[in-house]
Amino acid sequence: MGLIVQKFGGTSVGSVERILHVADRVIEEKNNGNGVVVVVSAMGKTTDELVALAKEMSAQPSKREMDMLLTTGEQVTISLLSMALIEKGYEAISFTGWQAGIQTESIHGNARILNIETDRIQQQLNEGRIVVVAGFQGSTEEGAISTLGRGGSDTTAVALAAALKADKCDIYTDVTGVYTTDPRYVKEARKLLSVSYDEMLELANLGAGVLHPRAVEFAKNYQVPLEVRSSIQREEGTRIEEEVSMEQNLVVRGVAFENEITRVSVLGLPNSLTGLSTIFTTLAKNHINVDIIIQSMTQEHTTNVSFSIKSGDLTDTMKVLEDNKQLLNYQGVEAESGLAKVSIVGSGMISNPGVAAEMFDVLAKNQIQVKMVSTSEIKVSTVVEEAKMVQAVETLHEAFELAGTTIKL
């Protein structure tokens, strides 16, 4: 007998009918003779609605209380799905994150999983029950309830699959797999049959919201066989695995994008050995996440540094820079919002020089100005005007020949 972890996202459990349908898919797996652990998200847009509710109480709600509130969403789904399974004649039991033994760091809002005590789940599996676990939550050493960051139910599922040494982890969602780019934006996007862990990690980190980046990290570190597939359509999904076959080894496998990016430029910094480290240490100490960094030498004694941040962090960033003006000793600060990051990803880039050049060429021919660039062995990211983001994605998707048959959502 095998062990399968299945995860169903918000849309897939968005109504009573959908939960009943999910129950049938769980039962199918059970009837195949497998032990089944099911991870579910909150129904539909519940988490967004809970966030909005909290904002009515406080502009900056207590992070502890926020976690207490948001975790209720998943608690509704686990109990309803378990009831449905029991009603259909199967033994099932629901567990919240702490009941499932998921222990996290002692922080709220974006905690990492540190350990999973699997005894309680294992015992239920041994007794033949289907175990239904609340996604996106755990508990801290102090016994507080924590959450794993938005979209974190994927991570719950993969982490459980790793801890339980499951044979497979299936992520059921509202698209039929991982596409060459977000099919909601580009109708020519094509489903990929397989993607390597490294490519998927880049895609997820660069904005492809189909998988939570930490879920991919877990899958890679523990070699969990992972598949993204549709909860409605019955077709093969996308396998995320160590190696992908040669014939599919396109130079560029996908285009990812992210909006609401701001470029901050700190002008006239003293041209000293420690200038750079002081500015970025100060930002890091204040929990400002900096992405792309560009330093340009201007005159003999001063230098300018630009970096990109999420636009939501702009107010905090400006405050940190202002509060530390004396220490950093700069002459001025400029910020440009309304930007987006557009990236191409593919392991084939390692052995194909000139991919970045081709990307810049395509963007230039389409009158899209590149404002910042960052590269790794398997990706090139550019910052462009947000108004041109979708155009940039579409033209790159076409230029790197990613289009295929149109697939309806």
Residues 6+ apart with CB under 8 A from 45: 10
Decide: 309 and 288 in contact? Cβ < 8 Å. yes
Q: Check residue 135 for interaction with ligand ASP (CB under 6 A).
A: yes
Query: Nearer to Mg ion by C-beta: 12 or 96?
Result: 12
CA distance 88 to 85: 5
Closest to 52 in 3D by CA, of 61, 43, 44:
61
Give the total of residues touching Mg ion (CB under 5 A).
2
46 makes contact with ligand ADP (CB under 6 A): no
The residue type of 10 is G
Query: Nearer Cβ to ligand ADP, position 191 or 388?
Result: 191
Measured CA to CA, the distance from residue 90 to residue 130 in angstroms comes to 8
Single out the residue of 164, 166, 210, 359 in contact with ligand ADP (rule: CB under 6 A): 210
Name the residue among 122, 82, 102 with its Cα closest to residue 214.
Answer: 102
What are phi and psi for residue 295, nearest 5 degrees? -115, 135
- Residue 181 interacting entry, from ligand ADP, Mg ion, ligand ASP, none, C-beta within 5 to 8 Å by type: ligand ADP
Q: Does 153 bind ligand ASP (CB under 6 A)?
A: yes
Tell the residue number behind the tokens 């993969």, with chain if given: 158
How does DSSP classify residue 268? E
Quote the least distance from Cβ 57 to ligand ADP, whole Å: 26
Residues forming beta bridges with residue 196, ordered by sequence position: 241
Residue 175 binds which entry of ligand ADP, ligand ASP, Mg ion, none, CB below 5-8 Å type-dependent: ligand ADP
User: Which residue in the set 77, 173, 304, 395 belongs to the binding site for ligand ADP (CB under 6 A)?
Assistant: 173
Find the binder of Mg ion among 14, 97, 101, 151 (CB under 5 A).
151
The footprint of ligand ASP (CB under 6 A) covers 9-10, 41-42, 47, 73, 135-136, 150-153
Binding residues for Mg ion, per CB under 5 A? 9, 151
Q: What are the residues binding ligand ADP (CB under 6 A)? A: 9-12, 41, 151, 173-175, 178-179, 181-184, 208-210, 254
